[in-house]
Structures are given as C-alpha cells and as structure tokens.
Structure 1
Amino acid sequence: MTGSARGSTGPEYRRAMTLLQDPTALIADVTPEQRSERLSDAGAAWTERIAADAANAQLTYTVTGRGIGSVGTEIRAGKHRFLVDEPAGLAGDDAAASPVEYALGALVSCQVVVFRLYAQALGLTIDDIEITAQGDLDVRKLFGIDESGRAGFHDVRVRVDITGPNTAEEYEKLRAVVEEHCPVLDLFANSVPTTGALA
C-alpha cells in the first residue's frame, strides 16, 4: 500500500533482498546510437512478425506470487524474482515496495519505454527522461470501514521531465502520442475484464 509507515527490515528479509542489491548493474550502458538501433530493430522485427501472421501480435504474460512472512510476496516473472511487501503500519516488514508502489512503478517504467519508442519513431531526441507518478488512495474500503469508495487509486498524477534538443511543443506532442499507446496507462485509464478463481 502506501509507504508512509515504513519500519525496520528484519534480518530474514535482508538476506532475501541480496537478489536486488544493485539491479541497475544488470542493464547495459548504451550510447544514443545503440539505443536508436535497438529501438529501430525491435520495431522492424515486430512489424515483420505481425505482417507474417496477425496472431503474433497477441501476447500472454504470466506472473506468480507466493506469500512469505506476514504479508510479503515473492513474485516470479519468467526468470526474474522480486519481493513485494508492506510497511509496518500495514502489517508488513518493509522489506520491499508495496503492491501499489509497484503499480505506479509499472506505469512509470512503461511510460519510459513508450517515450523512447515514439521519440525514435518521430525523429525526436531524449537525452534524459525521469517520470514521477503519485497516486492517492483512501484505505477505508481496504479495511472495510466504508464500502462506498474505491479500493484502489482515485487519482493518479504523472510528471514527465525530458531533456533534449527538441522544442517543448514537440515533446508535448510526443507526450500525447505516448498517452495513446502506453499499455500500463491503458490499464489505469480503462476497466479490464478480470476473473478470479480458487485453484
């Protein structure tokens, strides 16, 4: 949930967190030219795959979570493993970001991808990009205190800071394109049919 009541991390979670000590070290430093080539190659490859068979556009993602500790979760997504937890005020050990913080992180990271993708497509240059998302959440529904409101965010604000040689107007047009094409923003902005079942 929110990060306002963060507490100390227990030793058992510190050991588990060694998996995440410096995840940025796993991402290669690239030049603008290398990034441009990778983005162009990815776009061309997907265009070719989908032209060959429209069914290739359909992807299914699978993520599995196992409850650990008080309210923590170990998430498995392909070969990747990461922790999700809550602060002490929400019965957690504060060993990792909360589910709603990861949701905002998913929005931010998806926006970074789509900004890069469409800047390349539109011939714009992004030297640096930093995106901040803030979400407002009322916990009364979560705790069953008041059933009339939403359980999730009732307001989300996204701030995009871009540096580069293009004009503010060009970057604003880019932002509008990104809002039309960002998959995670679409999740936030529109209802998605979701079903649940006990195994």
Structure 2
Amino acid sequence: MGTLNEYLEQKRKAIYARKAYFEQKGDQAVSKISASVKAAGRSGVREIRIRDFQVISDSPPDFAGYNLGPSSPELQLGVLGSCLTHIALIQAAEREVSLHSLEVTVEGEMNPLAGKPGYEDVPIYPHNIRYKLFIQSDESEEKLQALHEAIEQVCPIFNLLKNPQQIEGDLIISRSAAQTV
C-alpha cells in the first residue's frame, strides 16, 4: 500500500493539470453542483443522490428513525471534516509539505429544546462547531502553521459555514390524481 506522500505527488500533478485547464477556460470555468433528496415511504429515510452516488440519512430511534444512517447535522459535520481533509491534501501537495498521516475530527452541539419556550436563544442548528487537524509530519511547525492557515483560507465548506449565505427556496406543489378529479 502506498504512503500519503506518494499520493501527494499524484495529487500535485492533478492539481497543476486542473489549474491549467480552468485558467484556460477563464470565465467559463464556473461549474454547477447539485444534490437531490427524496424521503422514502414507510421509513422516512432520506435518499441523497449526488452524481452517481447515493447516501442514506436517517434519525436515531428516539426521533422516529431506524438508525440506518447519520442524521443531517451529523452529515454536515462529516462534510466539513471531509472538505478540510481534502483541502489539506491539496494545500500540502501544492506547497510540497510532507505528510505521513492526516486526520480531522469535528464536533458540534445541538439542543433538542432549542427554539422552545425558555430556550428561544438556543440555536436550532449545530453550533459551537470545532475541529482538530491531526498531522504527522517531519516539517517545521512554521510550515505546518502556514499550511493550516491556507486550509482555512480556501476550504469551501469551512467558509460556507463561517460566512453568512443567501439561500433561496421555492415551493413546487403537485396534486395526486384523486385530488384533481
């Protein structure tokens, strides 16, 4: 099995090729990303479809779920950890930082009473989010601190959560055949 540093060499080559491709495209480089989610009948399990992949999201039994997958807030923490990890690999490859191992853990808090009487000021969303970036490397502390700063500067999901975003939603209603007769 290859080492992380061998992978970083491969990653570096891919980064340079991708960068050259998108620099050539200029303003045409914007790409759209999407996901769709459908609630399954009888279980309420959320089937998340992204490209050719499916991810299952569910609730624990104490919230009328079957514990068939992580909850949406848990997935969000996992997505943050995944993005931080990927950006760490990209930045290490670009900066030629040697890494023997890399791991990110993410934690947050949620209060099931949030928003209810007496708890109006408690956020209804995951909050007090924090992560730990575990790096095993022979590089200098200064070089690894610079890597950490670069990760936070360019990580899309870290910055999405850190900075306010405008989200628009539309309601599309369809009626069952029985209702239209």
Query: TM-score category by the smaller chain?
Result: 0.7 to 0.9
Once the 2 structures are TM-superposed, how far is the Cα of residue 34 of structure 1 from its aligned partner?
4.4
Partner of 2:131: 158
Matched, 1:189 2:162: yes
2:8 corresponds to: 36
For residues 33-182 of structure 1, the aligned pairs below 5 Å read 34-68=6-40, 69-141=42-114, 144-145=116-117, 146-182=119-155
Q: How far 1:151 moved relative to its partner? A: 1.8
- Cα deviation 1:117-164 (Å, max 9, x = unaligned): 11111121111111110011223336x444443221221010111112
TM-score, structure 2 as length reference: 0.85
Gaps of 5+ in 2: 173-181
TM-score, L = length of structure 1: 0.77
SS in 2 for 1:35: helix
Mapped partners of 1:33, 1:133: distance in 2 = 24
Deviations 1:49-71 (A, max 9, x none): 22222234312111111102443
Task: Report % sequence identity.
Answer: 22
Are the counterparts in 2 of residues 49 and 56 from structure 1 also a CA contact under 8 Å? no
SS at 1:178's partner residue?
helix
Q: Secondary structure at the match of 1:106?
A: helix
Retained in 1: the 8 A contact 2:91–2:150?
yes
Cα offset, 1:45, TM superposition: 2.3
SS at structure 2 position matched to 1:53: helix
Give unmatched runs, 5+ long, in structure 1. Answer: 1-28
**1:124, 1:85 → 2: CA distance?**
39
Mapped partners of 2:92, 2:139: distance in 1: 10
CA contact (8 A) 2:5 2:99 kept: no
Q: Which has the larger radius of gyration?
A: 2
